[in-house]
Amino acid sequence: MRRILAQWLIVLAPLAAAAVHAAANQTEMEARQLIARWEAAFKAHDLDAIMALYAPDVLAYDVGGPPSHGEWRIVHDHVSVAADFATGKALLELTP
């Protein structure tokens, strides 16, 4: 019985590993597509398209955490991108 189980594990382990790898690739592809859609909307100055990428109940904040004085209000937003110092233009076509 152990021998049969061992043989099945030898057969199934690579299949399971392949399935996990495929799922990870799919997840990465979906994340990259979402980033590409955000980038396209940003370049097009399309705020509606950008906001459509966020969950309706998103709670997003940077350093400092949520305010403790009640109602949420956006007071500042910052996106960092590489820039060409000679022209001052953003370099949005760069890839890691």
User: Could you tell me the CA-to-CA distances from 24 to 16, 19, 29, 53, 83 in Å, in that order?
Assistant: 12, 9, 9, 21, 32
Rounded (5°) CA angle 80-63-72? 100
> What whole-number distance in Å separates Cα of residue 77 and Cα of residue 79?
7
Each residue's pLDDT tens digit, 56-92: 877 766 556 666 666 767 666 777 788 888 888 888 8
Question: Would you kindly state where each structural domain of the chain is located, as residue ranges?
Answer: 2-52
User: pLDDT: is 61 or 40 the higher one?
Assistant: 40
pLDDT at 14 over 90: no
Whether the CB-CB separation of 83 and 90 falls below 8 Å is answered with yes
Query: What's the pTM value of the predicted model, to 2 decimals?
Result: 0.46
Residue 17 — very low, low, confident or very high, per pLDDT cuts 50/70/90?
low
